[in-house]
Amino acid sequence: MSATVADQVFAGASAEDILRWTYGNFARVAVVASFQAESSVIIDMISKFRPDFRVLTLDTGRLPQETHDMIDRVRDRYRIAIDVLQPDPAEVGDMVASHGTNLFYRSPDLRRSCCEVRKSRPLERALRGYDAWITGLRRDQSATRADVEVMTIDSQHGGIAKVAPLAGWSKAGVWDYIRANDVPYHPLYESGYTSIGCAPCTRPTTAGEDDRAGRWWWEQNEVKECGIHYSPDGVPHPLFNGTTVQ
């Protein structure tokens, strides 16, 4: 779907309208959740009209314990199945043997390699069985995400639909929904985190910083992306090389 057509289809539509439309038009839909605030909102919205929906999440092997606790909390609250995706142990083993456990601190290329092995490849494999996936991207999360569209055709994942029902929402709107609906949220927000990823790659942010400034903060590059949504610097991942993941 082009941006123009998407704008026409979803003009004036609420996030819930977009979600209902997605489930009404695609047979196999996955919510891909990091269990940050946005995915909590999306899961809560879907639960109000659809009891049986599929949630995927990535266990990179480096997540903070609080994220694992959050996954359990959401599973129990909504009584849903959550598919926990993990990287290929052989790929992780080869990477660590060649570059060390904390390779991501050594160079941007090695950090991208780690993100690819632990995140991008497992997700690519998992999404092969779906027609659409739902993400919590918002335009005001960072300058990189300022042009996020509500729906795109995701060529990175076999041409399936990629839906961002909260694209136009503000951070305040997300938290207003959480408070109004008593939605569970990640406990690290209470410790000053504004974007939460792997434990060694995430820190709290300070007043005036971009919400994603706490991700890979040692890198000078302003593009704070792992590669699932955007390729850092717009370059191919060094281990991916533009080929199909096997």
**C-alpha to C-alpha distance for 91 and 151, rounded to whole angstroms:** 32
In this structure, are strands 82-85 and 132-134 parallel, antiparallel, or unpaired? Answer: unpaired
**Residue 198 catalytic?**
no
CB 156 within 8 A of CB 124: yes
From 114, 198, 201, 226, the catalytic residue: 226
**C-alpha to C-alpha distance for 84 and 212, rounded to whole angstroms:** 24
The residues near 172 (Cβ < 8 Å, ≥ 6 apart) are: none
**C-alpha to C-alpha distance for 109 and 114, rounded to whole angstroms:** 9
Q: Point out the residues that are catalytic.
A: 226
